[in-house]
Amino acid sequence: MSIQKWDAAVIGAGPAGLCSALQCAREGLKTLLVEKNGISGGAITAAGINYPGIFQAWGRQLIAGIGWELVKKTLLETGAPLPDFSVPGDGSNRGMHVPINPLLFAAIADEELLKAGVSIQYHTMPGALKPTRDGWTLTLCGKDGLFEAESAVVIDCTGDANAVKMAGFPCNEPLECQPGSLSIYVDNFDPAALDTEALQREFDKAVARGEVSAEDFGWSKKFNIGFLLGRGKNSNHICGINAADSAGRTAIEIAGRQSVRRVYRFLKRQPGLEKVQFHIRSAECGVRETRTIRGEETVTLEDYFSGRKFADALCCSFYPIDLHDARLGLDFRRLPEGVTPTIPRGALVPKGSKGLLAAGRIVSSDRLANSALRVQATCMATGQAAGAMAVLCRRNSCGAMDLELSEIRALLEKHGAIVP
Ligand SMILES: Cc1cc2nc3c(=O)[nH]c(=O)nc-3n(C[C@H](O)[C@H](O)[C@H](O)COP(=O)(O)OP(=O)(O)OC[C@H]3O[C@@H](n4cnc5c(N)ncnc54)[C@H](O)[C@@H]3O)c2cc1C
């Protein structure tokens, strides 16, 4: 069988990958989108984090473009109200997320991908990336086995920098990653009938017996009544696992389900909770942090917190610093009034690479900056920016760092993005 040739191969169809692939294909690139799951959306669909944020700050919209278009189409389909971008906010994330129906989001994304001519390969993963004279050979694994593809540009949107690592470029991994969370939905109980103090007493005893752990409910060493009042959601913390590769991913999935089961067993024994029911909200454990690339440029905490306007900024980002440290607790810092951080082109380019780009939560950044810029709206914006660079690299036969910034920005604006 002859090897298929592509202008751009996007690996991962999460918030970043969707926007990358759509940007490439809408500008005429022959685009392949490879996704290990059977559904696009990444954490939106697979991890139950169906409330992308943050598109706005200080009373104006900061992120638009393809990501916002998909979110808006989903809101319009369900008749949900559009967010009010004129709300000034307080530098935190409060009230700024946009709840969407994940299933319809994925259906809309499928439709847009097909309309744009993207070749979607679900249930497929890359096994190897080898450089060629003018691009990459990818060894892909589908359900029927291995096959090869060639692509001029590869865009890593895996959330774990899997493609960048396979291509042999160094990445950063923290000694201990932030905990993951397995989203669930809890019902069939009356919150008003619960005795919080009695629950706390029983919880302390169950922790002492090793039946349940504080992390199973979230941060606090106390019984987290918020877990019940919030109907579960993503309160739990699955600690101490780096889920960047299949072994880590397997470990975190198993640990997540065991954690939920411990909670279920504990709650069922408590008065008022005998009939409590747990429902699946996501097939996978949500992963906050694994790897970031080492880019031509790196966004630091100082850059992010001061709202540094990088000379080669391609998009804005907005979120408070939000590092979930399993040992130290939550490092949460509101951004000072008026601060709107930016993401530079160099953070999307693995240092010294050619024909290789990265987008989403893996962009080159230190841990604290990453704890903010990992959110979905920023991932969408970096995804679109990587797609725009792929288009221009192909058109001008050059590397991403050689592109005229004005050309990248003009292309992004043509597709509705807000360029800082
Ligand atoms: C518990 C939790 C709560 C969060 N809360 C919020 C929130 O409230 N608002 C917000 O905006 N963000 C939130 N986030 C952060 C946000 O969801 C992620 O950082 C964001 O989804 C990252 O987008 P991405 O496109 O980089 O990666 P992902 O969303 O992880 O998507 C990556 C995609 O690539 C696929 N993939 C991975 N590896 C491969 C491979 N080797 N081959 C093929 N495909 C692959 C995956 O299946 C997935 O579809 C939260 C995250 C977690 C875990």
Q: Are strands 125-132 and 342-344 parallel, antiparallel or unpaired?
A: unpaired
**Ligand 1 lined by 14 (C-beta under 6 Å):** yes
**Ligand 1 lined by 157 (C-beta under 6 Å):** yes
Burial class (CB in 10 A: 0-12, 13-18, 19+), 191: exposed
- What separation in Å is there between the alpha carbon of 260 and the centre of ligand 1? 21
Q: Residue with the nearest Cα to atom 15 of ligand 1?
A: 375
Number of C-beta neighbours around residue 111 at 10 A: 11
Closest to 15 in 3D by CA, of 379, 318, 289, 290: 379
In which residue ranges of the chain is pLDDT below 50? none
Q: Are strands 4-11 and 135-142 parallel, antiparallel or unpaired?
A: unpaired
Q: At 7, phi and psi to the nearest 5?
A: -80, -40
Closest to 184 in 3D by CA, of 48, 11, 10: 48
CA distance 277 to 263: 11
Cβ(118)–Cβ(31) below 8 Å: yes
Q: Residue with the nearest Cα to atom 51 of ligand 1?
A: 288
**Ligand 1 lined by 36 (C-beta under 6 Å):** yes
Number of C-beta neighbours around residue 396 at 10 A: 12
Provide the pLDDT for residue 214. Answer: 87
**Ligand 1 lined by 286 (C-beta under 6 Å):** yes
Number of C-beta neighbours around residue 331 at 10 A: 14
Closest to 66 in 3D by CA, of 379, 389, 394, 391: 379
CA distance 189 to 353: 55
* Helices then strands, each counted (H, E), the chain: 12, 18
The one-letter amino acid code at 131 reads: P
Radius of gyration of the chain (CA): 21
Q: Which two tokens stand for residue 54?
A: 């943050």
- What separation in Å is there between the alpha carbon of 340 and the centre of ligand 1? 22
pTM value is 0.98
Q: Which two tokens stand for residue 227?
A: 């877990």
Q: What's the residue count for the chain?
A: 420
**Ligand 1 lined by 376 (C-beta under 6 Å):** yes
Report, in this order, helix, strand and coil percent for the chain, each rounded to 5: 35, 20, 45
Provide the pLDDT for residue 224. Answer: 82
**Ligand 1 lined by 15 (C-beta under 6 Å):** yes
Provide the pLDDT for residue 227. Answer: 86
Number of C-beta neighbours around residue 201 at 10 A: 12
- Sketch out the chain's domains with CATH numbers: 4-174+290-414 (3.50.50.60), 184-280 (no CATH)
CA distance 137 to 151: 7
**Ligand 1 lined by 179 (C-beta under 6 Å):** no
Closest to 283 in 3D by CA, of 111, 17, 417, 103: 103
Provide the pLDDT for residue 248. Answer: 98
Provide the pLDDT for residue 1. Answer: 63
Provide the pLDDT for residue 124. Answer: 98
Provide the pLDDT for residue 225. Answer: 84
Q: Are strands 145-156 and 4-11 parallel, antiparallel or unpaired?
A: parallel
**Ligand 1 lined by 98 (C-beta under 6 Å):** no
